[in-house]
Amino acid sequence: MGRFVYQTFDPDLLELPNDLDFEEEGISEDYGSYREYEAYLPDKLVALRPLSEDAATACAEATEAIERAMAAAAASPAADACAELLLANEAVSTTQAEDYAVSCASMLEYAACRRLDPNLAYREAETAALDAMEALRDFALDASGRITLPDLCAANAIFSRTSSRADDCGQLRERPVFIGKDLFDAEYVAPPADELDELMDDLVAHIGGRVTNPVAQAAIAQVQLVTIHPFEDGNGRTSRAISQRLLQEAGIAHGMLPPITAAMLSGGHDYVGAIHSFVNGDGPSDPSTFAMLFARSCRQAAERVDALRVITERFLASRIDRAGDASALAMRVTAEFAKLPILTEALVSERVGVDVHDALEELADLGVVVKRQARFSPVHVYVAEEMLDALERSQR
């Protein structure tokens, strides 16, 4: 394992005013004076224990499962739709993991309404999920070259836009961060800020190395970044984006994001316990428990991709045929709802390039979409309920 090191807290780091009433502000008076605390200094990745035989086997099997499911989705006539749906899934799931109350339905509906009304009332959870979608599209789906520290910082800045500490994100932190009640009574205090350059250089070297098992590499990178906690906020989302990016770099995800975070959140896995096992061991840190959890989540994610692909193919190929004859424009519009199950008339027209009012009414009459009042704006939205249900089931 790594080791614990004693540090002295500097109250100037918080930039507290001299006349601050600690009791009134709900701040511990301990923060007003120099005081010792214990921080964790993780092992370098070159010093980790090798994966156990069971973990290595699980990661190898998960790599094959992801490769098979994603290749089938990429070769499908529903490939474009699957790619968009899986991006939305991961954006919402990684945001939910940070305790934001958001769903795929609320994010997509808010996004559609916001395109019509830039002055729409601000919703933090939905905005955080949309920011996650942007960061994942720009970073996790980019397999153009080796990941650099500036790449990670740029992704973290986008993930953390809704944070109260957003101005300090997108760069390595200069202050201690912790999980728990406070710095002096914390469950975990991340490494001291003056250790971050060296630790991040080691991590970047790891994620740039050639490996035979991409799932194992992704798992180790994710748990190490969470352990380092190099940013003021958004560390969890950034760590999950790294693992997704590494699967792209390995060529096994085929330009799509397997719903690994959704599987982790809903698959009965002890995510926090697996991280603790990485930190709290004897001897060199052992990534096997977290790698096993990550591998199981990957296999479950592969199953969810298969299910989503089948439903999307059926929606595109069979729904109109079952409902009756439809115009060519209505068929084109249906393809847009396979990608984004909640849209406004204006947004569909923008995506298709022509007025779609009659086509939408036609699809509503056929039962392909449902027209209803939006929750966030005095406009109507059209919902492909079959696709929305499939998307939300891929998270459960």
Residues 18 and 140 in one domain: no
Residue 51 token pair = 């994966």
DSSP state of 50: P
Residues 202 and 277 in one domain: yes
Give the pLDDT of residue 216: 96
Alpha helices per DSSP H over the chain? 22-25, 53-74, 79-96, 104-116, 124-135, 149-159, 196-207, 214-228, 235-249, 260-266, 271-279, 288-323, 328-339, 345-352, 357-366, 385-393
The model's pTM: 0.93
Give the domain extent around 336. 317-393
Handedness of CA 147, 149, 155, 160 (dihedral sign): positive
Query: Of 308, 340, 367, at which residue does a domain stop?
Result: 308
Higher pLDDT pick, 341 / 8: 341
Q: Residue 375 sits in a domain of what CATH number?
A: 1.10.10.10
Mean pLDDT across the stretch 33-53?
Answer: 89
Give the pLDDT of residue 30: 83
Q: What's the one-letter identity of residue 310?
A: V
Residues 126 and 198 in one domain: yes
Question: What would the pLDDT profile of 336-362 be if each residue is shown by its tens digit?
Answer: 999 999 999 999 999 999 999 999 999
With cut-offs at 50, 70 and 90, classify the pLDDT of residue 192. Answer: very high
DSSP SS3 for 178:
strand
Residues 33 and 63 in one domain: no
Query: Of 308, 337, 367, at which residue does a domain stop?
Result: 308
* Separation CA 341–CA 383 (nearest Å): 6
Chain-centroid distance, C-alpha 219: 14
Residues 279 and 369 in one domain: no
> 5 pairs with which residues across the strands?
39
Residues 35 and 128 in one domain: no
With cut-offs at 50, 70 and 90, classify the pLDDT of residue 145. Answer: confident
Domain count across the chain: 3
With cut-offs at 50, 70 and 90, classify the pLDDT of residue 208. Answer: confident
